[in-house]
Amino acid sequence: MSLREAQLYYRTQGLAIAERVLGLGDRDPVSPTFGCFDRYYWHYKALDFPNARAQEIGHYLAILYANRFEGNRYAGEPMILKWAEAAVRFWSQIQNRDGSFNEWWPRERSFCATSFSTYAAAETVRILDLKPPALAFHRTAEWLCKNNNPAVGNQVAASALALRAVADLSGDEFLARKAEERMRGLLELQDPEGFFPEYGGGDVGYQSLTVSLLAAYKARVPGEAITAALRKAIAFLDKRLRDDGTFDYPTCSRRTQFFYPSGLVRMREVNLLTRHWNGCRAGAVLLPSWMDDRYCFQLGTDYLIAGLED
């Protein structure tokens, strides 16, 4: 397998969920919930508040809009641009007054949802060159500076990346320093075995997500420390990923079965990617289309990033 072959596969699988993802959103411009991608809130009325993480779909749409590749009929389409912009706008509207966001219950102030949705919103703005919701970004960055969750490595990585993404958009040097401070704190949490903590232990699925987030941060801010940490993190994965792309998930701290490939593509880890690709083609590992509505687009976005990396 060549790296390009794997990337073509990831790109195709990331694109495969596009129609499903679009179906999750309120695309009616006169609707009061226009731009909301939590269908269980705006359409089914099964929830009385929207999950902020659903707004990360804006990032997925931005990637489709901005990149022409075989099979992607969404590139350059005005409505995709409009819906991605609406996703960011609705994200800013559901922000708590203190700058945080909710995922599982009202007034939750979820560190996870705040970190990941802020990064996705900032990336959507950057990719599409939109006017940023400056007040919303300021509030959420201020909240992230004051809050942390060191028990969960992937969330800490997302918060550092979110702070850096907002800093890059705003030119705020203070936020850039805070992002570096958060990243240094994360690297200090890395276990000698190479894993980042996930509720007290190592977890292959979330480790692959953290590797993807660290590689994305490294692309913005290169450095020897983060490169060394990535190598150790990848070595942890190398010991656990079988030739068929599977791993012993019941022994992982969070028992996850998904696997994020974009960090490995960015780090040019062809050996590990070959194993994962083998599992994908054999139907032995999870694909974005297999995931439920809450998580399919997050893995799908990572697949697109993996498939489009230069």
Could you please state the CATH topology (level 3) that the domain comprising 3-308 is classified under: Glycosyltransferase (1.50.10)
| SS3 letters across 210-267 | HHHHHHHHHHHCCCHHHHHHHHHHHHHHHHHCCCCCCCCHHHCCCCCCCCCCHHHHHC
For residue range 189-242, list pLDDT tens digits in order: 999 999 999 999 999 999 999 999 999 999 999 999 999 999 999 999 999 999
Residue 9 and residue 277 in contact, taking contact as beta carbons nearer than 8 Å: yes
pLDDT beneath 70, residues of the chain: none
Contacts of 10 (CB under 8 A, 6+ apart): 261, 265, 303, 304, 306, 307
Domain boundaries, the chain: 3-308
Rounded CA separation 123/118 (Å): 9
Q: At 178, list the tokens.
A: 């805070």
pLDDT of the residue at 310: 87
pLDDT of the residue at 208: 98
